[in-house]
Amino acid sequence: MGWSWLGVYACALVILPQSALEQLSRYSVEYPMVFRVANARTGTASHCGVLEFSAREGQAFVPGWLMETLALEAGDFVTVSNAVLPRGALIKIQPQSPAFLDITDPRAVLEFTLRQFTTLSPGDCFWINYLDEVHRVRVLSTEPGAAGILVVETDLNVDFAPPVGYQEPSARAGKSVAGSVV
């Protein structure tokens, strides 16, 4: 199925036309429904779930983070196909800025954000909105699926790579001057 992209919205899932659901209902589709979305121009691809089947015929709504990951522009054509991915066990991610470390509890914020996703694939760069700031986080690898994993209804272990641009504080800055107390 190929559709033209119509708009960016703040969600982790695509919105497809009713005809997609009608086509899928003729087959035994595994749930949750997972789709491979590919940029028809470049061939880059990722995976995602579906929010609903209410888009106009010939159009699909794609989240902004997925548009950025796939290098899509308004009006580009996407190819959407049903996919099956394994439940995830491990994901390795890398914040794209040291500002991510300013988040009070990054694991809690990440856990909350991941609840909005059905799948994640290596190369995805999803967004975390925290205190009016957008933090980009790139997926470096997923296990057991090299193409991607389901992140719903699973106990997912997360491994953090140092943020892009992060520099360890110097050893000298962390030392205090020793003195005697009388």
Mapped onto helix, strand or coil, the DSSP state of residue 101 is helix
The widest CA-to-CA distance across the chain, in whole angstroms, is 84
pLDDT single digits (tens) 149-167: 999 999 999 999 999 999 9
Q: How confident is the model at residue 124 (pLDDT cuts 50, 70, 90)?
A: very high
* Alpha carbon 112 to chain centroid, angstroms: 13
Single out the residue of 133, 131, 126, 121 nearest to residue 91, CA to CA.
Answer: 121
The backbone torsions φ and ψ at residue 94, rounded to the nearest 5 degrees and listed phi first, read: -140, 115
pTM above threshold 0.75: yes
Q: Count Cβ atoms below 10 Å from residue 172 Cβ, excluding itself.
A: 6
179 pLDDT more than 70: no
The pLDDT of residue 11 is 64
Burial 72-96 (b: 16+ CB within 10 A, else e): beeebebebeebebeebeebbbbbb
Res 98: pLDDT: 95
pLDDT for the residue numbered 12 = 78
Q: Write out pLDDT tens, residues 42-93.
A: 999 999 999 999 999 989 899 999 999 999 998 899 999 999 999 999 999 9
Beta strands 119-120; 133-143: pairing state: unpaired
- pLDDT cut 70: percent of the chain above it: 87
